[in-house]
Amino acid sequence: MLQQLLDCERHLPLLSFTLAWLPASSWLRLRRLRPAFTRALCDDVLRNVVKGLASDQGGPRSLLEILDSMSRQDDDSHSPGDDVKTSEAAVCEAAFLGLLQDLDVNQADPDTGLTPLMKAAEDAQPELCKLLLAYRADADGISIGGVTALGLALGSTCGNCMLFSGRGWCKCPRPAVARLLTRHTNFGLAEAFASTVRMALQDAAYLALLEIFAARLPVDCEITGPDSRRGTALSVALERRVKPVEAPLRHQALVVSSLLSLRANPHRPGPYVAWDGSGVPGRSENALLFFAASNFCDAETLSLLEEVTTSTAIANT
């Protein structure tokens, strides 16, 4: 029936009537199906539908208020392990309706500086992030604490992750959110690179992101913070666990191997300082080896680093 309505422009009023019976999530799905639906279900047509639907809702609110409201409803009606895709579809529907009412996609919370994109990233909602980015959400916006949406995707964990971190990750779509935002973000990439390294140490799903960052930044770029940290992505991978914030560092040797394959320099002279202030303040050819030992790296990681350092030194003689 929708195809028949699309074939004849004089049926547009009837098309609007038909769409009013469908949820906004269905509008989004139809727009992805074929170019004909994308053209016919343009924002101008859908805005006319939304005007009728929104007449009894007290007018538009801010987009962030809509997302907060949906988040509270989701918390009340779901428990850990429920289908996150179903709840995200409902959030996308509410956000899409708000966007069709011309709500500002970048309006920030005055107390925190958080934008809708930051909230979507923090809540690990990739489809919502795609929707907001399609409506020109600013991925380089920063919160009052100086964090981007990408930083929030990498620097925190969802409720399920926090609940189950002792027994493994909840397999939430957080790596997919980070991958998406990396393509749109230009601010704070070095800090985000460090956060990705720390997440990869705990969850192998983040390993693929290392190559994306290395394509955008020098793999040995200077990284500073938090606290006293000073070094590179490779030294960040050698730092000890941040307890109790981080899950166990299960993939240290794998992360170090990945960074070395991306041409991280094991002979970079330093200085290196870990997040807790410990490290190797001086400059020496074996600074990274000393740094790894001072952070109590596991035997496999130390052996890998020693092997690469020795083989590189021999090749250079």
pLDDT over 50 (residue 11): no
Choose one of 184, 214, 243: the last residue of a domain: 184
Question: How many Å apart are CA 170 and CA 168, to the nearest integer?
Answer: 7
Residue 262 lies in a domain: yes
Per-residue model confidence as pLDDT tens digits over 111-142: 999 999 999 999 899 999 999 999 999 999 99
Say yes or no: 118 and 231 in one domain. Answer: no
The arithmetic mean of pLDDT across residues 226-255, rounded, is 91
Choose one of 140, 161, 184: the last residue of a domain: 184
Residue 256 lies in a domain: yes
Say yes or no: 197 and 287 in one domain. Answer: yes
Say yes or no: 103 and 152 in one domain. Answer: yes
Per-residue model confidence as pLDDT tens digits over 272-296: 999 988 888 877 878 999 999 999 9
Q: What per-residue confidence (pLDDT) applies to 9?
A: 45
Say yes or no: 98 and 207 in one domain. Answer: no
Please name which of 275, 255, 226, 246 lies closest in space to residue 157, comparing C-alpha atoms. 246
Note the pTM of the prediction, 2 decimals: 0.82
Question: Domain total for the chain?
Answer: 2
Say yes or no: 96 and 180 in one domain. Answer: yes
Residue 17 lies in a domain: no
> Which structural domain, as residue segments, surrounds residue 307?
188-317
Q: What per-residue confidence (pLDDT) applies to 279?
A: 87
Residue 150 lies in a domain: yes
**CATH number assigned to the domain comprising residue 138:** 1.25.40.20
DSSP category for residue 67: H
121 vs 53 pLDDT, higher one? 121
Beta bridge partners of 155: none
Choose one of 157, 184, 211: the last residue of a domain: 184
Residue 112 lies in a domain: yes
Residue 29 lies in a domain: no
Please name which of 242, 271, 237, 270 lies closest in space to residue 254, comparing C-alpha atoms. 237
